[in-house]
Copies of this chain bind each other. A is one copy, B any other.
Amino acid sequence: MSLDESPDTSTVDKRRNAQRAALLDAASEMLMRGGPDAISLRKLAANVGTSTMAVYTAFGGKEGLITALFEEAFDRLAAAQNAVPKSPEPLLWLEGLGRAYRRFALDNPSYYALMISVTMPVSETIRHEERSSNPPARGISRYASYQNLHDAVQACIDDGSFPSDVDTMMIADAFWATVHGLCSLELAGFYASAEAAQERFSFTCFSMMRGVLTEKGLAKLASLAGVDPKH
């Protein structure tokens, strides 16, 4: 009855995986160009050189394909976040994570839009399997990207830069919302220019950090930046 847990990859499985990858590649290209709506199963199959049925056997339909792209997007974001050097100074690490997040959003606008889209039924699917995951399922910790943010904030707390009587996830979510809001508005074109967007990103992130910092953290930030943190 086709148990999927067979460890040895047979010939058909090999070709199937290769075709699966080819489908994902072609779909991501379409996604890059014209957004999620531009993904046509017919054109997709034609690009790969097969029929639309391949999408149904491999992913179960268009929704399954989008779900696979969804996970691909989170993997890319996680890779971008992991590539940030873990500076011994937690505040700098946190700042690097924010910059990397923005760079990922600007470089992969379609993937980013897919990740945070509300209308996509994919979101609910992901969240469903999130709730029913294994015991260590505390919120969205599954995403490596969030884990990086969480660790950086925790390091800032241990460092004394952030208050210790506030939940780590509360602070992490604050930074996530701030950085995401900036990227979202920038991608939506609400800022006049890339320079204006850069200025707003820096100012807003800096203000957010200043709002969370303890007195000790303020002093440390001042010594790092060489400016007066009062303003």
Contacts and interface: CB of A to CB of B under 8 A. Distances in A.
Interface of A: 35-37, 109-110, 113, 116-119, 123-124, 127, 139-140, 163, 165-166, 170, 173-174, 176-182, 184-185, 187-192, 199-200, 203-204, 206-212, 214-215, 230-231
Given A173-B204, A174-B200, A211-B212, A113 B109 contact: no
Contact of A189 (B113, B124, B181, B192): B124
Contacts of A214: 231
A140 B188 CA distance: 13
Given A188-B118, A207-B212, A231 B182 contact: no
25 contacts: A116-B184, A118-B188, A123-B189, A127-B189, A163-B231, A170-B200, A173-B185, A173-B191, A174-B200, A174-B204, A176-B181, A176-B185, A177-B178, A177-B184, A178-B204, A178-B208, A179-B181, A180-B181, A181-B181, A181-B182, A181-B184, A207-B211, A210-B210, A210-B211, A211-B212
B190 A119 contact: no
A69 to B, nearest CB: 14
A118 B113 contact: yes
Given A170-B203, A177-B200, A177-B204, 16 more contacts: A35-B118, A36-B119, A37-B119, A127-B189, A140-B190, A174-B203, A174-B204, A176-B185, A177-B181, A177-B185, A178-B181, A179-B181, A181-B181, A181-B182, A181-B184, A211-B211
Contacts of A178: 177-178, 181, 204, 208
Q: Is the interface of A mostly helix, strand, loop or mixed?
A: helix
Contacts of A188: 116-118, 123
Contacts of A37: 37, 119
Contact of A174 (B36, B119, B207): B207
Contacts of A199: 170
Given A209-B211, A211-B211, A185 B190 contact: no
